[in-house]
Structure 1
Amino acid sequence: MGVVGMFDMDDRRKRSGDPTATDGQRALIRAARRHAERLLLLGRVVLVVEALVRILWPVAALATGYAALALFGILAALPSPIVWLSFHAILAFALWRLWRGRQLLRLPAREQAARRVERAAGLAHRPIMTLFDRPAGSGFDPALWRAHLLRAARDVLHAPARRVRPRFALAGADPHGLRQLVVLLLFAGLWLAGSHAGELLGPVVPPEWRREPARVALEAMLVPPAYTGQPARALHTGPLAGTLDTRLADLPEGTRLVLRLVGGHAAPRLRLPDGRRLRLDRQAASVFTAQTSLVQDGTLLLDQGRRRRFEIALELRRDMAPEIALAAPPKGNDQGILEISVRGRDDYGIVSAAVRLFEKGRKDAPFATLPLRFSGEGGRDETIRHFLDLAADIHAGEEVDADLVAEDAAGHRTQGRRFALKLPERRFHHPVARAIARLRLSLLRHHEQAPIIAAGLDALARRPGDFDHRLDVYSALRAAVWRLRFMHRPRETIGSAAALLWETALALEDDGLSLAMKDLRDAFEAMDSALAGEGDPAKAAAALEKALAGFMQGLAMRQLRETAQVPLADLAGLLDTQGAMDARDVRGIAEEIAAMMRAGRKDEARALLAKLRRMMEQAAAHPLNAEDLQRMAAAARAGRSLNRLKRAQEDLRDRTARGALLQGLLKDAGTSLDFTPAAGEQKSLEERLTKILEALKTAKLPPPPGLAVARKAMGDARRTLESRAPASAIVHQGEAIEGLARAIEDLRGRQGSGLSLSGAVMPPMNDPMGRRVPGLGVKDLALPKNGARAVEQLVNEVRRRLSDPNLGEEERAYLKSLLTPY
């Protein structure tokens, strides 16, 4: 008996039947065939699973180990590129194994599935194939075949499907049991991770393989460069759903963009307008941060996976290069001080500037670079005036080339056009100081003449009477001679000898005032550095106070020599000068600067320091001489005379006002008052003013503009008094008083335009009410003119009330006491 193929067995069975079989036997066979079909499907599935396991078990082992590493926190510590490479390596290995085992992945045939099920269920004689088989030919016994089918049907129906399980048989492929090791690591990692297992397994799959959420939290801040002085502002803070699409204009170049994104899986990528791509750093599982500078216009994009978080159009405001030029031609004085006025401009302020000096016709490195200091406030033109001490330079008195350079906080540098400049040369009036300065200059320019110069210095030292037998000068000259005669290191010795000679010449010429100014300049530089955070503020402030004291002492000595040519009467008048600045006021400014630094008010301290420096430089560059002192004395005398004249005019106006009131009361009685004495008194005041004007002319002082107004008003008041019109006279007298007050204020300003006699104790500066002005006691910090005008109006009101004839004696005495200072 042959066997019919299983693929066409059903058709043949349907076409043929067993007429001798009962209905129960047919139902049993049909049920067995249906159960066999299910077993065949299960067998096919088992065969496919077994094939997949044999192909992919190495991949599964690698993936399990990979997950175990994640649970132990190792993947989170590795760089993102290594994690990405590891994942894709496992994926590529899985694809390679599938391609290599593609023959094993074919769908199993029915015969293979039947044999797999029969072996697993322990069925003998292939009952499943029997159910779908029929005898070949016609010579067979139907009853015998029916009995065979019934027995096969019963076997199949009793076959347990649960016994049809995959059998992997990996022992031969993995003889060392590595698969058990990775599983053990996986469970150990799960036990250690605990509730954080999900968070630790997050990096296992690269973010680009996961779907990003539509809603995240975004914090984006724009921080302009510190030198712009602009505050930071928020671009976006809070939840972000969808894409942020906005436009930013007028942002300073170099603004920093600070980003913090919370949410999502993939590290966001920021694409900058200049083409650069920046990946945000992962701070936690879903927290990403980054910051970058914006230096180019364009579009700013932030993408996370396949989602775009924002798209921003940028328009930056470019930082302009600084501008610097001369505001006026440089000029020098006899002290060797170069006064240079420079105009500078920058949109955010010039942080450093300098004037560079070159030898005539040479374009190489400058032989001197002298710093210039701007306030650093941008957006406006600023003109500064600097006093540069070049008297000790070897090129003093020569023609040189110079240019100006400036740099802003953004690093933009500007170089101005070159200009010709003649460096000032210090002129010495003392013959020995002049000789020492000439020998020093020859030593610096001609080193080979050191022996000859030593002989000249020796000759000067042998005549101590020429320098008043000053021991310091003699010692310095002898020290210089010995250094030049026995020098071992010529360059260093010549430099030290030249410095010693220069200090000696200055000490002989002005008693060390120039040296004190040099120390003061160094103290100012140290104070500037301390304000910029590059030094100890307390030490810098102490050094500044010490240098100021030394300079003021030197200035006092010089001014005292000049006072020998001023008459004692004039000198006494100078001691009453108000509004000028004395040593006590200078110390007050230094203490105020130190207090501002301690309080953190660095900008105010820097401004006050610059103001003090300009005043000291002005005092050093233009010291007062005898002629200046005489003019100051003349101005002081004129001021005192004008004060007395103003009080006399005010008293006459008060009496004229009372007379006018009395004339009004007597008018009805037909009686009139005689104002001829008042007119004569007014003429006398006019003559006193004329004498004051002549004194100012003699002293070569221009008269204040207010005196012309006062003189004309006095003449008008005299004429109206002669015509018995006291009401009109009061108006003219008031104009005369106002003119005198303006003239007094002008003269007071001239007296207070510089430093006073530093050795004298000056009276405190008073306000219009006679009180000490709070602050520093200098003219520039006096009450404003409108404040003084308000006080003047108050004084006039008091005088008007005094003119009331019905005023009581007690009240009149009180009002007069208020006017005592005036």
Structure 2
Amino acid sequence: MRDRAETPEILTRLRRPLRLTWWGMAAERAARAFWPLWSVLAATLAALMLGLQDMVPVEAVWTAGAVAALGALWALYRGLRQFRWPREVEALARLDATMPGRPIASVLDAQAVGATDAASAAVWRAHQARMAARAAEARAPRPNLSVARRDPFALRYVALLALAVALLFGSVLRIGSVADMAPGQAQALAGGPAWEGWVEPPGYTRLPSVYLNDIRPGELSVAEGSEVTLRLYGEVGELAVAESVSDRPVPEEPSAEPNQVFAVARDGRLAVEGPGGRTWEIALRPDSAPDVALAGEAEASAQGEMTLPFAASDDYGVVAGTARLELDLAAVDRQYGLAAEPEARPAIEVPLPMPVSGDRADFEETLIEDFSKHPWSNLPVKVRLTVEDAAGQTGASEPQTLTLPGRRFFDPLAAAVAEQRRDLLWTRDNAGRVAQVLRAVSYLPEDVFRSETSYLRLRVILRRLETFTRHGLTETQRDEVAEALWDLAILLEEGDLGDALERLRRAQDRLAEAMRNGASDEEIAELMQELREATDDYLRELARRDMQEGEEGQQNQQAQQAPGMQMTQDDLQEMMDRIQELMEQGRMAEAQEALRQLQEMMENMRVTQGEGQPSPGQEAMEGLAETLREQQGLSDEAFRELQEQFDRGDRQGQQQGEGQQGQQQPGQPGQQGQPGQQGQPGQQPGQGQGGQQQAEPGEEGQGLGESLEERQRALRDELNRQRQGLPDPGSEAGEAGREALDRAEDAMEGAERALGEGDLAEAIDRQAEAMDALRDGIRNMGEDMAQEGQRNGQGEQGMAEGDPSEESRDPLGRSAGSGGQMGTEENLLQGEDVYRRARDLLEELRRRSGEAERPEVERDYLERLLERF
């Protein structure tokens, strides 16, 4: 049996954890008993710090105070009844329960059986020694302060949240205002009556509030809509307010209400009468209505997008605006299809753009909209701009008549189709006349149509229009036919730009037509840019095609080409700059002659191939480079398809109909005339050409996705064929190149699998991996070829052979290099550190292409270089 003298020693060791356990139990019981009390106190304190007592009548304040006091007393009484201090034995039991085996109870127990037995006593002492050692490691348990079961609606958190908001946005000083509301309070009686007043302007003015106690008597200017707040303290009747600035009924006697709030509506007098009172002459500063006006002429781009500059101002800022365009029927040239009375159409209303940042009190912006497809396009309209300020006041500009900018068609046939579309939208009574004109246009298709597709589409549209007209043309049917005519006009104007030469010719024809029709400077600039881009594409296509042919016939052309026929790219650029300069100066005859000469030179231009046949390694490198370019193009198409998936839902039904049109083969007249077949409105350019075109996004079966999968498979097969034709590697760089090509093929296989499953995002990732691996492979194979040439003694010697004057050059005067490659690597593969120099050049190209301040032409050129290498 344990000696009683040892028991206090054990408790002494456990004094600290025992005391912590006791305090924790006390905190738990206090939280459960008094959480309503501190919730009521926190909510009351938050309301006082936020100044809610200043926003309601005095009676409401004291009523709420009484309710809060009663609630606090009830919560205090409830807490005192439920709370009791924990006893030491309870704390000891809580601490003992946290340890396995309850060692404290075991230490305090006495041996009841076998105390006289020496062996039993020895076992008991050993047991108590182990329990004493375990009890010495006791740690106070963490108190459980959760009262969720007692507060199921979490009212305590609501009170805490209100107190946190008050600490952030309120002030402790506001609590003192409650004392001023006490009737007959001692301070008011001792100091006499007092008053306070504020003038608060409307929030949208961003003007500061005015504290009337700091304003001397006299004239006071305030903004329209300002709110005056006056509070009178002391005995009722000692102070009163007399004013003539609000819309309140004028009382016979000044008002002695303790709290008065009114808005300033006019000039007048404001006075606080009584001890310490003041008088002000209020001068109302009116809120002026906003102003808006056109700031320039309306202009149109080559694609028909209108830009209309305007200027708006307001004393405090404009919040919104609207542009309203109405047809000016009196100014319309009522000839041909416009001679009939037009169908009623609502005015065009578009929101005006507002500055995203900055001051809206005085600004200039530009309205940019495209009204090319509207029936009023290129017709006179009346424009009226309206703006609104925060006070709801509006301002409008004077109506001005201008020609509604829209897309202009420079192709005569496209312009004729667009004009008939406008006549059909002008009134449905023109349907018969429109059908007659379209039938006359298509009488000799071989003379006016460049492609069979355009002619077939026009015939289908014509038959649908005639069918609808016989049975009564509805608005929906008219709009469908008008949409189909618009698509046809775009196709006739732009043509099929997939062929580089056709695009070049189309750009030249459109520019020549623009010269004859007196196009604007903006249209001329965009058409010139289109001509430059088409010229670049044509030159690249010629170079690529002739390099792939590699036949002796091309060498004969080089021998026949005179040196004087060569021209540099600077010469081409100079000619196009000269053409644009002549057009801007109004010298159209000279510009047309210069354009004709440029057309002749471009028609006669050929890219010749250099002497000598490329080596197998060079052919393999060229093939890998072409594979990389095709993979890049395939990835771009997959990315565009991924973007189009987001807006397919709204167009799916229409585009499924277009997919059926795309399957229509030329030469099936029985199907051409059926509604819903070929020629449906919305049919895209290029459909109906023997099924060679790709399906539109959104069609059933995901035709584009299947096409991408097949092209990816063909590209992977081509890479496999090129890998098998590579020469044996002669260095570590060659082995690394082959490994990189293996990775590229695996990535292509993953992209092909993802395309087959319709997972475009995964396919794009795999295609990016394939392109990275291809670049690594090309770089490593190039290093291997360079090292092989140096080992065979064919480095600088091979490059020095031959007469530079006999090298083949393209029509721009550039050397075709060895192996038919454009350019030459002379001075780039000399020296011991050529690879470091190549990396430095590549990094410099990337740096310059990322500098936004460089001209767009230069950055485009740098990007083309990066795509090639």
TM normalised by structure 1 equals: 0.33
More strand by share: 1
Task: Indicate the structure (1 or 2) with the bigger Cα radius of gyration.
Answer: 1
